[in-house]
Amino acid sequence: MLERLVMELGPWIWWIGGLLLLGLEVLAPGTFFLWFGLAAIVVGTLAILVEMPWQLEIVLFGLLSVVAVVVGRIYMRRQGTEGEEAGLNQRGARMVGREFVLAAPISGGQGSVRVDDSVWRVSGLDCPAGTRIRVVGVDGSTLVVAPVEG
* pTM score: 0.52
| CA gap 51, 44 in Å, rounded | 11
What is the per-residue pLDDT across 81-90, written as a single tens digit (0 to 9) for each? 555 555 555 6
pLDDT tens-digit series, residues 39-97: 999 999 999 999 988 889 999 999 999 999 999 888 888 775 555 555 555 666 777 88
* Alpha-carbon Rg for the chain in angstroms: 28
Q: How sure is the predictor about 102, in pLDDT bands with cuts at 50, 70 and 90?
A: confident
Mean pLDDT for the chain? 83
